[in-house]
Amino acid sequence: MISTGIERMHVLEWGPIDGPSVLLVHGNPTWGFLWRKVVAAIRARRGGDELRLIVPDLIGLGLSSKPEIPAHSLEHHATWLGQMIDQVIPGPLVLAAQDWGGPIGLLAMSARRTRLRGLVLGNTAISPPGPQFKPTLFHRLSQLPLVSDVLFRRLGFPLGVLHRTQGDRSSIRGEVARAYRWPLRTRAERAAPLALARMVPDSAEAHPSIAGLRITHELFATAQIPISMVWGEADPILGRVVTHLARTRPDAKVTRTPAGHFLQEEVPELLADAIVDVCARA
């Protein structure tokens, strides 16, 4: 456990303490468990066991502290992650991120941009919404008073339906599905899924996350680092976002796959390939 002020962040590590560092950041409503197949695939590759892999649980999720909804914002999450980075990875690193891990990770690195040596993204949104933006049903539900509390906190939404975002729905079933539900098995532990859903802008004009997303977009657009993107195009939420990101960074390597939102479960080998390649280029 790493202390980030009054909150504590659970962090797993593999590899030599002095090896090149790779930070793997998950999103909502998962935890570091999401990266297990990717970690195993990296370490099975030639030279992969020489990398230092760091997998935190974002505050509010996994085995980390679980503060109530008002504590959550893009800036707070970036501050918490940044404090962990400074304690655990004081030197350069490659960032691999998915879902909210993308903007949280990039906003944390915006204050440490000289240490960011490479970037691998999968199914995330790191830019403020454009004028044609329309929030999804998932995110509209999160903004409804009372209804959202019943859905997210009492019924545990969306933990019971993660498989519906997948290309292969069997990839999150049985024990795997139970593993995602386990850290959030009581109502008192379920503030973060709702808070993180509400952190998604519900308009293109006024939302607390927009200022931070402008910073993350600028870093993504201008950083002189190798970038790869591995995308699950069956993702009903973010499947098409890769087109916009590829236009912003035409130098990035892009791998499109038939996977869904939690592509770590479906195409871990492709993510491992991208991470090892970016580390080599970095």
pLDDT tens-digit readout, 9-52: 999 999 999 999 999 999 999 999 999 999 999 999 988 899 99
Residue range 160-168: mean pLDDT, rounded: 97
Q: Is the peptide bond before 29 cis (omega within 30 degrees of 0)?
A: yes
Give the list of residues 6+ apart from residue 137 with CB closer than 8 angstroms, or none.
Answer: none
3-state secondary structure of 272: helix
* Average pLDDT of the residues in 260-278: 98
Beta carbons within 8 Å of 171's beta carbon, 6+ residues apart: 163, 260, 262, 265, 266
The model's pTM: 0.96
Is the pLDDT confidence value at 256 over 90? yes
Contact 169, 177 (CB under 8 A): no
Buried b (16+ CB within 10 A) or exposed e, 29-62: bbbbbbbbbbbebbbeeeebeebbbbbbbbbbbb
| CATH superfamily, region 2-281 | Alpha/Beta hydrolase fold, catalytic domain (3.40.50.1820)
Q: What is residue 204's predicted lDDT score, i.e. its pLDDT?
A: 65
- Strand 52-56 relative to strand 21-25: parallel, antiparallel, unpaired? parallel
Residue 182: pLDDT over 90: yes
Given a contact cutoff of 8 angstroms between Cβ atoms, the answer to whether 93 and 115 are in contact is yes
Q: How confident is the model at residue 137 (pLDDT cuts 50, 70, 90)?
A: confident
Are 278 and 114 in contact, with CB atoms under 8 Å apart? no
